[in-house]
Structure formats: C-alpha cells, structure tokens
Amino acid sequence: MVFSKLKSLPLFLTLLIAGLFVLLPLGSSAEFSLRQPTKQNHGFDNYVWFISQPEFGHYMGVSFSLAAVSALILLVLLVPTVVWLNLKGQKLRPFVDFITLMPLVIPVVALAIGAQNSLPEFAQTNQFILSFLYAVLAMPYAYRTLDTGLKAIPLQTISEAARGLGANWFRTIVRVITPIIRGTVLSALFMTLALSFGEYTITSLLHWDTFTTWVTVISQANVMGAIALSVFSLVAIFIFLLLVGLFIKPAASQVAKEEE
Amino acid sequence: MNQPEISTLDRKGASKRGTLSGQSLGLILGVLPLVAFMGVFFFWPLWSVLWSSFEDNFGAFTLKNFEVALGEPYRTAFSNSITLGLISAITSAIPGAIIAYIIESRGSQKLRQFIASISSVLSTTGGVPLAFMFIAAYGAEGSATALLRAFGINIYAGSFTLYSLAGVIFVYSYFMVPTMVIVFSPAVHGIRREWQEAAKNLGATTAQFWRRVGIPLLFPSFISSLLLLFAAAFSAYATARAMTSGSVALVPLMIGNLVDGNVINDQMNLGKALAMGMVIVSLVAMIPYLLIQRRASRWQQ
C-alpha cells in the first residue's frame, strides 16, 4: 500500500536503507537469540531459560511497580499544574518551561551522584526513591506532551462552563478536563512507564536491582540468555509504544472529531 | 529521546497577560507543587554536587578535586567523551537530516506520520539491551555480519571492533539517527513550498534557491540538532558501559567506577568534580541549542 505511493527513486532508496538500518540488527539478534549451540539448531531454549529463572517474575514486578508509581507521581503533579498554567499562569510559563526542560540538559550521571550525596538516609534506603527520580527524568517529555494536548482544546470555555455549573477546581480537573484530554494523558502515562522501565544509569549508580540491571547480572552466567532477554525487552517496548501511538489519538484530532 | 519536539517551547499561547497583582500569590501557589518537587529531587541534588565538589574529605574548601579532575587519566577521558560526542553527532546528524528532508519533501502524509512514530520509538532505545542486540547482530558470529560479508562488506576487514570508540559510535547511531529525524523534521517542514516557488518565479535555479535561501534557513536548526545529539552521546552511560566494560576511558564510566568503589581514590569528592565537568560541557552545548530553537520556532509554525 505504501509502495504504490512511492513517487520517486530517492524516497524508495531512503526507505530501503533506513529499513535495513533498523531491521537488520533487530532481525539478526533475534535469530542469534534462537540459536541453541548444544543442539546445533534453532529454538526457544534461551527464552525458556530466562523465563524459568525465579528472578524474572520478581524483577518484572519490581520494575513495573516502580514505573507505575513514577507515572502516577508525574500525572498527579503535572495535570493540575499544566491546566493552571494554561488558564491563569501565563506569566510563570517561561520559568516552568525552563525548569521542566533542565533534566534533558543535565547529564543523568550528575543527578545520580547528587541524589546519592544529598538525599536523607530514609529516602536512600527505600527503593521507591527511584520512582521520584524516574519522574524527574520523564518530566521534559510528559510536560510537553500534556502542554501540547491542552493547547489543542478550548480550555478556557470548558473550565468556565464546568465552574459555572458548580464544579470546584478539583472536580473540573478530574471529571471534566482529564477525560477530554485522555489521549494525551495516556500517551504521557505510557511514555513515562516505558522510560522508567528501561532506566539504567540512576538505578545502577544508586546500587538498586531492577529488571534492567538484572540483564547485566545474568550476562555473566549465560550470555545467550542475556541476549534473548535483551531482544525480548526491546521488542516488547517497541510493540508497546507503537500500539500506544496507533490507538491513542492525540487530543487535537479527538476534539475535531467530537465537534463534527 | 524527545517525543514532543522541544521547539514547541515558547510558542504563542500567552494571549492573556496581566492578571490582577493581588492574585500573584495564587499564581505562585498553582505551580508550587511542581517547583517544590523539582527543587527536592533535581535542583537540590545538583546543588549538593556543586557544593561538595569544592570540599575536601573533611568539608573544608579546596580546589584539589578540580585539579585532579583536569589531570590524567581524567583529561583523556574528557577528551574521549567529547570526541565520542562530536563524531557520533556528526555521523548521525548527516544521514538523519537527509532522511528527514527526503521523507518530508516526498513522502505522503501517512508515511510521514509512520516515520515519526517509528523514530520516536527508536529514539528511546538504549541501555544494556541495545548493546547486547548489537553484540549479537554485528559480533564476529552474528548473522548481520555474515549477511554484509555476503554482499562484499567485511566490517572486520580493518581494525574495527564493537568494543572500541568506533563500535560505541556505531551502536549509538541506532537511536541518534531517529532522534535527528525527529528534531530536524520540523525545520525541513518549515521550508515552505511557496518560498521555493517564489524564488523560482524570481528567476532562481534550484541550486541558487538552496544556496541563498534553503541552506541558510536550515543551517541554524542543523547546528542546534547537532548540539542536542552531542549532549546525548556525551552523557550516555548504560550502552557504553555494557559495550566497552572499561576498555575505553569515558567520563561517565569513570564516575561510575568511583561511585561503585571499583577505583579507589583518596579524594571522596573527585567524582563530584568530574560530574560538574560534565554539567559544564553539557551546558555549553545545550544553551546555544535552546537559543537557536527559540529563534527557529518563530518561522516553523
């Protein structure tokens, strides 16, 4: 279908080279992960091996709960703030834009050292401190996603209508605005989940064990298993994010559809 | 890395200005939770790194940490990391820019959206799994290596190994090229067809259009994207660590070794001075990036 629309050779060549660039390592490592050296054939032995490790379920659970908490923190913090900024806080916008962008500018290693140096003992001994730091790292993406989504809807009119009908601010944000921008909220949520799930730098520098650091640990015992696990986690995150992109419509098109 | 492009920063939207001055307290209260959160979990830790980098083991002021951080072997590590950042940025920015241009100018709406979503997914890859994926595919036994050899390309003909600086640059391109496509596409999109037509009507050839209009317009965006890629490659940690396991001296890895206690140094705040060095290099790259993006976003709407 796409191919019938190819207008020219340069476009075709670009797609071919880009496709090879993306798919060759992916396909080739998938093939590698299916090799069974002892049996001289291909099969799912390496996959069966890592799934049968007791740590597999354990670390999946750990990483998933850390990621879920960080997504929750970010949404509870950001949705009201970004609504507020778009309604009344225009003066503070440059300042908030700036501080939410900084995690992209500062190397993660520096933040990890700082967290280790400054956070109090009780925070450092609780693994959920990672959720807060993951939330900081996902902040630039989540903030901008929500901001773009809110700019696409007639926020002022909607909130005045809700307030006029007697809803307080809490109800307006939770029951009226959030459902309208649900697509945007969900994509911010899933992006935060994916980023948190794959975070390695802070996790390993603060000496915590999660799913991502476990890959390094098992590579010392079974390289083939570690490669299978890597392919599994990369492909799972690709599919997850692509599905999110396909099924969650951005707020703008949602509103346009509802207005038709 | 960046899903929502950063150029959306500072767009219009500030239509209503000047709320009553009595409300300014309320104004600040609205953003207080976010500012407090960033303060505690981001700015406070960074401030403590800055502060401690000037302290000796007993908490007295010293410049010794920075003296050591600027000497060997850390000087080499900084120069390796900066080289890695520069080469990686240039080798990924050029193909990324070409892909962005061809897709934006010739692709259908559907194809552009497809490429955008694929790029945003690929730009988030990295970490240890990416390193293992490349080791499996392009290692000596990998089928990608075998396939390329069948087409006459032997990547191991020279002195190339995946576990060197060149190898790391090769692996980084997997997320850097898509990042370039994301950050550079809005700029290419901003070169409006009308401009090209206007130039043509005034008698310009295609080459003249590019030399006088297109390239001067795109150049700042290209440089700013390059700076963003530089900062990403310069500070990446996980992939480099999994790939080289210490065989290439890079600053983030050296900091990691100090933190993990793999390397014993009698100055306990040396790692903080190295981290401040990284922050300074990143700021030098990112401040021009933000300024250029701000200017460019004026005509990219």
Residue A3 lies in a domain: no
Q: Which of A28-32, A252-256, B121-125, B239-243 has the lowest mean pLDDT?
A: A252-256
Number of separate domains in chain A = 1
For residue B13, pLDDT over 90 is answered with no
pLDDT at B18 exceeding the cut of 70: no
Helices (H) and strands (E) in chain A, counts: 15, 2
Q: What is the mean pLDDT of residues B227-236?
A: 90
Each residue of B24-75: pLDDT tens digit?
677 778 888 999 999 999 999 999 999 888 888 777 788 877 877 788 888 8
Mean pLDDT of all residues belonging to chain B: 82
B231–chain A Cβ distance below 8 A for any pair: yes
Provide CATH 1.10.3720.10 ranges for chain B: 65-296
Q: Which residue in A94, A104, A113 is closest to B275 by CB distance?
A: A113
pLDDT band at A65 (very low <50, low <70, confident <90, very high): very high
In a domain, A53, yes or no: yes
Tens digits of per-residue pLDDT, B76-94?
Answer: 889 989 999 999 999 999 9
Computed over every residue of chain A, the mean pLDDT equals 84
Q: What are phi and psi of A95, to 5 degrees?
A: -65, -45
Contact flag A144-B8 (C-beta cutoff 8 Å):
yes
pLDDT tens, A9-42?
Answer: 888 888 899 998 989 999 888 888 888 777 778 8
Return the structure tokens found at A69: 């908490």
ipTM: 0.85
pLDDT tens-digit readout, A150-175: 888 888 888 888 888 888 878 888 88
**Please, is A43 exposed, middle or buried when counting C-beta atoms within 10 Å of its C-beta (0-12, 13-18, 19+)?**
exposed
Q: Is residue A32 part of a domain?
A: no
**Among candidate residues B74, B56, B54, the one with its CA nearest the CA of residue B267:** B56
A162, part of any domain: yes
Asked if B96 is an interface residue toward chain A (Cβ–Cβ < 8 A), one would say no
pLDDT at B297 over 80: no
The H-assigned helical ranges of A5-154 are 9-33, 45-52, 54-87, 93-105, 108-118, 121-124, 129-151
CB contact under 8 A, A90 and B147: no
What's the rounded Cα separation, in Å, for the pair B91 and B96?
A: 9
pLDDT of B277 above 50 = yes
Centre a 10 Å sphere on the Cβ of residue B73 and count the other Cβ atoms it contains. 11
Fold of B65-296: MetI-like fold (1.10.3720)
- Percent of chain A residues topping a pLDDT of 70: 92
pLDDT value of residue B2: 40
- At residue A260, the pLDDT reads 42
| Of A220-224, A255-259, B130-134, minimum mean pLDDT range | A255-259
Neighboring chain A residues of B174 at a CB cutoff of 8 Å:
21-22, 25
pLDDT at B69: 79
In chain B, % of residues over pLDDT 70 = 88
Model pLDDT, residue A8: 76
Is residue B105 classed exposed, middle or buried when 0-12, 13-18 and 19+ CB atoms within 10 A define those classes? middle
Which residue from A minimizes the CA distance to B235? A107
Q: Chain A: give the shortest CA distance to residue B198, in Å.
A: 24
| Of residues B39, B298, B151, B21, the one with CA closest to residue A136 | B39
pLDDT on residue A248: 67
Mean pLDDT of B212-218: 83
Residues from chain A contacting residue B297 (CB–CB below 8 Å) = none
Q: Is there a contact between A119 and B45 if contact means CB atoms under 8 Å apart?
A: yes
Question: For residues A146 and A188, is the Cβ–Cβ distance under 8 A?
Answer: yes
A39 in any annotated domain: no
User: Residue B109: pLDDT above 70?
Assistant: yes
Q: How far is A198 from chain B (nearest CA, A)?
A: 7
Q: Which of left, alpha, beta for B95 (phi over 0: left; psi -120 to 50: alpha)?
A: alpha
Task: Measure CA B299 to chain center.
Answer: 23
Task: Choose, out of A11, A131, A230, A235, the residue to mutate when testing the contact with B (most B CBs < 10 Å).
Answer: A230
Q: Per the CB < 8 Å rule, is A32 touching B137?
A: yes
pLDDT score recorded for residue B47: 94
pLDDT at site A58: 92
- B55 strand-pairing partners: B61
Residues 176-205 of B with CB under 8 A from A: 177
Nearest to A113 among B38, B238, B271 (CB): B271
For position A239, which CATH number holds?
1.10.3720.10
Q: What is the mean pLDDT of residues A85-92?
A: 81
Which helix H or strand E contains A36, and what residues bound it? Answer: strand A35-36
Is A18 within a domain? no
Q: Are the beta carbons of A230 and B129 separated by less than 8 Å?
A: yes
**In this complex, do A90 and B14 lie within 8 Å of one another by their Cβ atoms?**
yes
Q: Give me the mean pLDDT over the A185-207 stretch.
A: 88
Range of the structural domain that residue A77 is part of? 48-259
Q: Is residue A30 one of the residues assigned to a domain?
A: no
Q: Give me the half-sphere count of Cα atoms (radius 13 Å) on the Cβ side of residue A234.
A: 29
CA distances from B146 to A28, A32, A62, A231, B162 (A): 10, 12, 39, 19, 15
